Amino acid sequence: MIDKQSPIPIYHQLEEYIKQLIENGKLKPDEAIPSEREYSEQYQISRMTVRQALNNLVNDGYLYRQKGRGTFVNKQKVEQKLQGLTSFTEDMKERGMMPSSRLISFEIIPAEPQLARKLDIKENTPVYEIKRVRMADNLPMALETTYLPANLVKGLTEEIINKSLYQHIEEKLSLTIREATQQIEASIAKETEVNHLQVDSGSPVLLIVRTSFLEDGTPFELVKSAYRADRYKFVHTMQRAAK
């Protein structure tokens, strides 16, 4: 279980070991794990090393401590950090619905000043503009416009868009999106939205503007969406850094 000769730090080995037990369900929520001194004796490692492993797991939200009582397994899972960073497709699948799209327009346009600023490119640099109605279980859910700098994503075709834009980006172009900023606001559906989303005029919509960045911080895409408020709730989980 613990290999002292391994180049992998002992605390990290213990960390992974306990993490596995939790993820396998062998350690259940609110169950106490062995005490620091027990780990220390069982594996013949110092208590401070055990503490280093446990501290990391506490920071990651796997465990919580209670002075005088012990260390316990936490309930929630750590995942879901990318909620909202995923594509519409993944988002809908997650919600158990069948996603689909209807392409409204697809063209290359010169970037307007505001767009150029957000994508950190020069004015009038060519960008792809993709307008789609996004549907879930064949019901209109959102009206979405995506802007991609043409130099970053060459040779985009209607076919690729209809298949899976994200898959193309990640697998074929091997680009990884690392970070995204979202702005969320409420509004009343405008005329195009009323038409494409098939809602009454005066209906509320949730506007989401997302800017994604690559590993090196380059802005990669800007997506503006208008969601039908009666069908869509945006959910996300945040963790506070440990004190």
Partner DNA sequence: TGTGTTTAGATGTCTATACCAGTTGAAATA
Partner DNA sequence: TATTTCAACTGGTATAGACATCTAAACACA
Q: Which positions touch DNA (CB under 7 A)?
A: 4, 7, 9-12, 33, 35-38, 44-49, 51-52, 65-71
Give the one entry of a second copy, DNA, none that residue 83 binds, where binding means its C-beta sits below a cut-off of 5 to 8 angstroms depending on kind.
a second copy
Q: Write the CB contacts of 102 (distance below 8 Å, at least 6 apart in sequence).
A: 132, 133, 135
For DNA, give the closer residue by CB, 22 or 45: 45
For DNA, give the closer residue by CB, 45 or 177: 45
What 3-state DSSP class applies to 102? strand
For DNA, give the closer residue by CB, 34 or 126: 34
In the complex, least distance from residue 72 CB atom to a second copy, rounded to whole angstroms:
7
In the complex, least distance from residue 118 CB atom to a second copy, rounded to whole angstroms:
14
The token duo for 8 is 């992998």
Give the one entry of DNA, a second copy, none that residue 37 binds, where binding means its C-beta sits below a cut-off of 5 to 8 angstroms depending on kind.
DNA
Give the one entry of DNA, a second copy, none that residue 227 binds, where binding means its C-beta sits below a cut-off of 5 to 8 angstroms depending on kind.
a second copy
How many residues appear in the chain? 243
Give the one entry of DNA, a second copy, none that residue 122 binds, where binding means its C-beta sits below a cut-off of 5 to 8 angstroms depending on kind.
none
Binding site for a second copy (CB under 8 A): 29-30, 48, 56, 59-61, 64, 66, 72, 74-76, 78-79, 81-85, 176-188, 202, 204-207, 213, 215-217, 227, 229, 232-243
Could you tell me the CA-to-CA distances from 21 to 29, 56, 111, 123, 167 in Å, in that order? 11, 15, 51, 54, 33
116: left (phi over 0), alpha (psi -120 to 50) or beta: alpha
User: CA-to-CA distance for 23 and 54, rounded, in angstroms?
Assistant: 15
For DNA, give the closer residue by CB, 51 or 224: 51
The token duo for 2 is 């613990």
Give the one entry of a second copy, DNA, none that residue 38 binds, where binding means its C-beta sits below a cut-off of 5 to 8 angstroms depending on kind.
DNA
Specify whether the CB–CB gap between 131 and 147 falls below 8 A.
no
- For residue 170, the number of C-alpha atoms closer than 13 Å in the C-beta half-sphere is 9
Give the one entry of a second copy, DNA, none that residue 11 binds, where binding means its C-beta sits below a cut-off of 5 to 8 angstroms depending on kind.
DNA
What 3-state DSSP class applies to 41? helix
Mark out the alpha helices in 43-172 (DSSP H runs).
47-59, 88-94, 113-119, 158-167
In the complex, least distance from residue 157 CB atom to a second copy, rounded to whole angstroms:
26
In the complex, least distance from residue 11 CB atom to DNA, rounded to whole angstroms:
4
Give the one entry of DNA, a second copy, none that residue 4 binds, where binding means its C-beta sits below a cut-off of 5 to 8 angstroms depending on kind.
DNA
What 3-state DSSP class applies to 35? coil
In the complex, least distance from residue 152 CB atom to DNA, rounded to whole angstroms:
15
Specify whether the CB–CB gap between 151 and 145 falls below 8 A.
no
